[in-house]
Structures are given as C-alpha cells and as structure tokens.
Structure 1
Amino acid sequence: MQYLVFRLYGSMASWGEAAVGGDRPSALTPTRSAVLGLLGAALGIKREDTSRLEMLRNSMGVAIKAYSCGGLTRDYHTAQVPSQDRKRSFHTRKDELSIAKEKLNTVLSSRDYRSDGYWIVAVWQQQESELTLDALNRALAKPAFIPYLGRKACPLAAPVAPLLVESDLKSALDQRFPPVLDSHEQDRRWLGLGSMVTYLWQGKAEDLGSFDGVQSCQVWDEPISRMPWQFGSRQEHQLTLVEE
C-alpha cells in the first residue's frame, strides 16, 4: 500500500470540534476535515469549488500518530462581524468592516488551542481520482495557498517534509522525520515528546495490525458541505502504545 506521510508541528494549533454558543473547543489531534482542508489549500482548491473538495474527501483516507497533543491554551476572544448581507461579497477583512461599519456586531467567544503539539499524518487513496498522492506530495512541497494548523493564526513551525512510502499503515506512521531542533534528543526534551504515542485511523480496526486495546468510536469530522458548515459522522479507531 502506498501512503503519503508528513508531519504537523506548530507553537499553536486548533482542531475544531462541535461548538456550542461562544465556546470553540479544540480536539487533541488533527481532525479529518482539518487534514483535508490543509491538503486542499496546498492544492490550491478554493472554498467555493465544491466538486473538487468532494473529490478530495471521497478519494483520501486519513490516519494520525500523535507524539504530543500539546498543552491547552485558552483565549478570550472578541470579534466584530457585520450583519449578514448575501448581496455583497468582500475581498478582504478591511473591506468587510469599512463598508459595513454601521451594521457591526460584537461577538464574544472562548477559543481553545493546542500548544507545541506534534503529529504524523498518513493519507492514502481510497478510490481512483485525478487527485493522486503524487500530486499531493508536490503540492505539500510547494503549496498554492499557505497551510496552517486549523486557524490562520496557527502557522506551521517546521516543514511538513512529505514522503511517499510503500508499507503497511503502522510502518508508514512510524517513519522517522528530521528533528525540529538540533537533534531528536532535543525534540524529546524540549517539545515534550514522550514514549507514549496514540494512533488514530479510519477503515477497519485491524488495518493497523493485530493489537489488543483498540478502541472504536464515532466522531463528527467528515465534511459534508462547506457553506452551512455541515459535518457527518464516521468510525475512528484508536490505539495507545509505549514506544521503546
């Protein structure tokens, strides 16, 4: 099986979960929708290009290996938003606020972030598509749009270092990447990368291998429609191991 493997590390990340009221929580690991969004940005797919977004969603499977989920950082956030006007479109945030300044509303929210998280991502093709792993590999090496970790305020702090490998799923996720700092020992010390790692994957529970302790659950991160922000459920499998 061929996989495209890359890493995600940043001083701040925010992996959206179901939001109630003004609270905006973050998952511990990158969600499937966040990974697909990052790949779409690298490919240069615009948000209104629903056909290509659906093609990307249908053709790619996603798995995660979490070395560190990072520490929780919470931000009390205020934002000004204009009253909704479907007849107008704005090219910049400045235009939006200046044109609609007489109709501005203030929104208060609490937003969660993960600080110094380190994750490995593996994607594979579930069906034939023009969006191949080779195309994704080239796009991640030279992205069309700037990729970020869930929010535009959360830039990458290290190259994603994409790599095409042919192996089983666990071996793909266990790929060794160049250190973020001067050495892997410094990464373990300063980034808080312990010996306990967590694997999360879609598909079948046995796709990672024969292990005891695999847990399965329903998660709501399957993107359905971008405009009304609709997400569907999918089954995800999880396994925590101690690496030697």
Structure 2
Amino acid sequence: MSVLTLRLAGPLQSWGASARFARRTTESAPTKSGVIGLLAAAAGIERGDDNKLRPLAALRFGVRIDQPGTRVRDFQTAHHGVTGKSMPLSNRFYLADAVFLAALEGDHRLLAELHAALLAPVYAPFLGRRSCPPSLPVELHLHDHAGLQDALREEPWQASPWYRRQYRGQNDVELTVLREADAHEQNTADTLRDQPLSFAAEHRRHALRTQVSYSVRIPNPSARQLPRHDPFDALDEESA
C-alpha cells in the first residue's frame, strides 16, 4: 500500500456534504467526495463514468487541519438570463485562508497515476467549488509502503508563514486529524454522507462514511531558537 498526500490551500474553499437548495454550507474540512472529485477531474474522468470513479472512491481517506481558516458567508442574488425573472436568494458559505493536508491510501499504481494527473491535469482542480482555485500546487508526495496514519502524522506542517508566526514560541503544534475509521473503530466513529457513488448530474449519489477524529503533534519549523547562554562563560573568559 502507498499514500498520496495533497496540500489544499486557497483564498476560499467550500466542502459541502449536506447542502441543499438556496443554503450552501461547508464542512470545516475537505470531504472525501470533494477530494475524489478533484482527482477525478485531474485524471479526466467524466461525471457519468461510475466504473472509473469506483477505484478512486475505494481509496482510504484522511485529512489534517493545518490552518482552519475563517468561515464566511456570501449572500447572492441572481436573475434568469432569458426572462429576467428573479431567482431564489441564496447563502453560500466558504472557508477563507484555510490550509489542509489530505491523504489517500491504496494501490501504488493507481496513486502514481493520480499523482501524475495532478502534475498535468485534464480539468483544472478546484477546492470544492469551481470558484475556489488552489493558490499552491495541490500535489505533495507519493509515499511508498506507507500507511494513512503515518502520513498524516509525519508530513510537515503546511500552514502559511504568516499563520505559523503566532506559534514561534512552541517547538510543536497540535493539529486535528479526521481519518476514515478502521473496522475496530466503527462503534466510536462519526458518520458523514460523503462517500461518492456517482457524480452524474442527473443522479448524483453519496453513501455514509465513518470517520474518527484525534490530535497529532507536528514539529514547528518556525519555532524561535533561543541563543545558548551559560553564565559561567564570562568567568572562563576572565580566567583565560
């Protein structure tokens, strides 16, 4: 098994799992359906091709919240392009200035193909909605013979430099991980309807998926290194 890690960073992101009609909400972290959709677009998989979607949906998924961002609301009005009739008012929610580490575990050959697709995508990647392009390259690393939990714990902190500055006094930081539950964790896991079954426009379908939440401590590369101070150094200099 191998693990593909992704950096999801942008001015705006929106990862809906239960949005309906005129209220389009966002989860606090990327959904599996949203990330699989990003990979499927990069690989050129058409929306109605459920056979090609199935291997991607079978990948195990996890995400680490490296920079939670701020939830913002966009109040929208619209008019029909032909009749000029007013359309229903809508509220759309986004995460501003967020950064996430996403990881997918599965067959090495499939993940290598997806990694290559991200380097030369057929369709441009976006962070949940087409209006949310990434601000940095999405692809990070393809880890050979690695596990999902290890990748989510060992990948360096991806937060923006301006965000890391507030933690300069800490050698490490505590980050939240949302990971697809193992078999023995099912009884204590939460559920989210973001397991993609079909992206076809006429019958988009998702199933329930279980996930667990926990914290990991990651080294802080921006930690302030205090200069060494030994009060006896001055005495040594005088005696010399």
TM-score range (shorter-chain normalised) is 0.7 to 0.9
In structure 2, relative to structure 1, the CA distance for the partners of 1:198 and 1:109 (3 Å cut) is: same
1:118-197 paired onto structure 2 within 5 Å: 118-125=99-106, 132-166=110-144, 167-173=146-152, 174-176=154-156, 185-189=161-165, 195-197=173-175
**Aligned 8 A contact 1:215 1:238 in 2:** no
* Alpha-carbon offset, residue 80 of structure 1: 4.1
* Alpha-carbon offset, residue 17 of structure 1: 2.3
* Alpha-carbon offset, residue 77 of structure 1: 1.4
Residue aligning to 1:236 = 211
In structure 2, relative to structure 1, the CA distance for the partners of 1:54 and 1:80 (3 Å cut) is: farther
**Aligned 8 A contact 1:201 1:237 in 2:** yes
**Aligned 8 A contact 2:105 2:148 in 1:** no
In structure 2, relative to structure 1, the CA distance for the partners of 1:45 and 1:148 (3 Å cut) is: same
SS at match of 2:87: strand
- Structure 2 gaps of 5+ residues are 220-240
- Structure 1 gaps of 5+ residues are 82-96, 208-213
Residue aligning to 2:70 = 71
**Aligned 8 A contact 2:16 2:26 in 1:** yes
**Aligned 8 A contact 1:205 1:216 in 2:** no
- Per the normalisation by structure 2, the TM-score is 0.77
**Aligned 8 A contact 1:222 1:234 in 2:** yes
Code of the aligned partner of 2:51: S
1:1-244 paired onto structure 2 within 5 Å: 1-58=1-58, 60-80=59-79, 97=81, 101-102=82-83, 106-125=87-106, 132-166=110-144, 167-173=146-152, 174-176=154-156, 185-189=161-165, 195-204=173-182, 216-226=189-199, 227-243=202-218
d(CA) in 1 for partners of 2:50, 2:92:
28
RMSD between aligned alpha carbons? 2.9
d(CA) in 2 for partners of 1:149, 1:4:
17
* Alpha-carbon offset, residue 71 of structure 1: 0.2
* Alpha-carbon offset, residue 145 of structure 1: 0.6
Query: Quick one: percent identity of the two aligned structures?
Result: 30
SS at match of 2:195: strand
In structure 2, relative to structure 1, the CA distance for the partners of 1:242 and 1:163 (3 Å cut) is: closer
In structure 2, relative to structure 1, the CA distance for the partners of 1:73 and 1:133 (3 Å cut) is: same
Code of the aligned partner of 2:114: L
Code of the aligned partner of 1:33: S
* Alpha-carbon offset, residue 205 of structure 1: 6.8
* Alpha-carbon offset, residue 124 of structure 1: 1.7
- Report Cα offsets for 1:143-195 as digits up to 9, x if no partner: 11100001111110111233111323233123127x776xxx5451389xx92
**Aligned 8 A contact 1:215 1:239 in 2:** no
Work out which of the two has the higher radius of gyration on C-alpha atoms and give 1 or 2.
Answer: 2
**Aligned 8 A contact 2:17 2:192 in 1:** no
In structure 2, relative to structure 1, the CA distance for the partners of 1:110 and 1:186 (3 Å cut) is: closer
